[in-house]
Amino acid sequence: MAYKKGEERQQKVLFPDCIDDYVEEDAPVRLFDAFVDSLDMGKLEFIRNIPKATGSPGYDPRDLLKLYIYGYFYQVRSSRKLARECKCNVEVMWLLGKLYPDFRTISDFRKDNKDSITKVFKEFNKFCMGLKLFSKSYISIDGSKFKAVNAKDNNFTLNKLDDRIKRLDEHITLYMEELDSCDREEGRKLSREELEHKLNVCKERKARYEAYRTTLEESNEKQISLTDPDARLMKANEGFCVGYNMQTAVDADSHMIAGFRVTNSPTDHGQITNVATDVKKDYGIDILETTADKGYECPEDHTDALASGIVPNVIRRDGGCTEQVEFEYIGNTITDEQKVSTNPEDLKACLQAGVIPDVYNGILTDMEIVEVKKRTLPTSDSAVLDMTSEQMRAKALEGFFVRDAERNLVYCPQGEILRQKSIKRNGNIRYCNKLACKKCKCKCTISKFKEADFSKDDLIKVADTRRKQDAANDGNANLKPTRITVMKKVVRYVLHLDQKKMDNRKCLSEHPFGTIKRTLGYYYFLLKGFAKVGAEMGLLCLSYNLRRAISLKGVPALLAALR
């Protein structure tokens, strides 16, 4: 039996096939075309949204936007690959009317219209809200790490710079000694010219690292990335990577992404108010409930959220269903209008005055006004303020941890520099230098590494070795400095958390990230900087929401709603 045979490649036809016949009636590409045609490109501020009267005609921004939406939907986002699709993909030919833009035109469109592309994501969400796809009942907030266009070798922390500069000093000293003895010895492995070359390389590299360190200290930043300045080194599931911590808010019923935020914070602390405020504005509602995991536990952020009309149902580490929130007490008189209002300013005024707003009845209970102690500068730390860096190091060598608050570093009893590692939940700053501690045998702390915790008011601490020596000499190990304390009034409430919403959190937040990173393979960005990465994340979230909308409604229903 013969095989099926196709048409001859050289066969000519009198009436060519219509390209529309090759595209199914329910193909997603028809939805992309109709949605982009419904947008007001001038309102979204796309570049060249009005064609010029003279000169060579350019490409319609609608066509290039359609191309990018199609590409991100079908896992093709490289400008060169998109340019190839224009010539070999029948659906893209249908979508663009057989236009063939080159890769540079495609690439420049995404970079030049980064802010406008982000707005397209919100425009599609508005369209879906009109179809009642967003329930607006509550949202689930979560973060995930995405790799940036920046290798770990091109990212420097202060500890990393300190260690490299120290090693370069050792190499420079060694090369200088070898140069001094170069003429006296014979049969050397390296000539004078080779030694001088290596010495100059070390000096040049040291000068570059010192410039990076000076820049970081003056800007109070912890890291510097050379390729993508906005990317930061952070811990992900697969280890450490240089990237961004992307925050998303997922609608409770439709599982669609209601909003996102680009951050370079290594942790999720303090992100609820920032993310939920944008979603609350897009939803157009007065009070928005949220849920998040334990990584979002931050008392100050929860206080700001409640004052902004956001209820933070954050999972507690102890598994409880209540949380104590605290506001600074301001004894103002609250009117009935303020008590029933949902305006953030009125909400904050009520909460600071010890009055529970009507919208928080049942959510906040057990109001009490109490006096708490507020620590101030220890009396023994005042002398450190007048010390120079050399004097601080000399004081540290006597058996102390001395903190330079201006440069945000700590000198240890061995003269090494400890840099800020993290900020603990109680507000203390943890300083550490693992690279210096590997070869150190001094037991100055009980920690595995020289980790020293300082409050924002502490400047000097006694090392364990010094404390033991003083205890052995005079029997007095109590070297704690006297402190001046003051009292302040605060208002405390009990926040009742919704256990059902917290139990449903994982079913909401994990699905979008799993689809974007695993199914679609978008675990890294192609662009650099907050603005461009935000545009790319907007296209990722838009492609996900398009899939969800098609799954919930179908292409024909969505097309009918657009017409």
Q: What is the pLDDT of residues 371-393, one digit of tens each?
A: 887 655 454 566 777 788 888 88
CA distance 133 to 200: 65
| Residues 400/462, Cβ–Cβ less than 8 Å | yes
SS3 labels along 37-59: HCCCCCCCCCCCCCCCCCCCCCC
Neighbour count for residue 515 (Cβ, 10 Å):
17
User: Which residues neighbour 54 within 8 Å (Cβ) at sequence distance 6 or greater?
Assistant: none
CA distances from residue 9 to 5, 6, 12, 13 in whole angstroms, order as listed:
12, 9, 8, 11
User: Which residues neighbour 187 within 8 Å (Cβ) at sequence distance 6 or greater?
Assistant: none
Q: Which pairing describes strands 364-375 and 400-404: parallel, antiparallel, or unpaired?
A: unpaired
Per-residue DSSP letter, 493: E
Reported as half-sphere exposure (CB side, CA atoms, 13 A), residue 79 has a value of 16
pLDDT score of 201: 92
Which has the closest alpha carbon to 26: 107, 71, 91?
Answer: 91
pLDDT score of 478: 46
DSSP-derived secondary structure for 122-159? HHHHHHHHHTT----SEEEEEEEEEE-S--GGGEEEHH
Beta strands in 174-270 (DSSP E): 223-225, 232-236, 239-251, 257-263
pLDDT score of 536: 95
| Residues 549/558, Cβ–Cβ less than 8 Å | yes
Share of the chain above pLDDT 90, in %: 56
Quick one: tokens of 396?
Answer: 């540290």
| Residues 303/327, Cβ–Cβ less than 8 Å | yes
Q: What's the burial of 246, exposed, middle or buried (CB within 10 Å: 0-12/13-18/19+)?
A: buried
The helix or strand, by DSSP H or E, that contains position 366, with its residue range, turns out to be strand 364-375
Q: Which pairing describes strands 409-411 and 417-423: parallel, antiparallel, or unpaired?
A: antiparallel
Reported as half-sphere exposure (CB side, CA atoms, 13 A), residue 497 has a value of 23
Q: Which pairing describes strands 232-236 and 364-375: parallel, antiparallel, or unpaired?
A: unpaired
| Residues 493/351, Cβ–Cβ less than 8 Å | yes
The model's pTM is 0.84
Q: What is the largest CA-CA distance in the chain?
A: 109
| Residues 561/131, Cβ–Cβ less than 8 Å | yes
Beta strands in 376-450 (DSSP E): 400-404, 409-411, 417-423, 429-432
pLDDT score of 454: 86
Which has the closest alpha carbon to 252: 496, 506, 495?
Answer: 506
Partners of 250 in the beta sheet? 140, 257
Place of tokens 């000068």: 207
CA distance 309 to 287: 5
pLDDT score of 479: 46
Partners of 288 in the beta sheet? 310
Intervals of the chain under pLDDT 50: 377, 379, 476-479
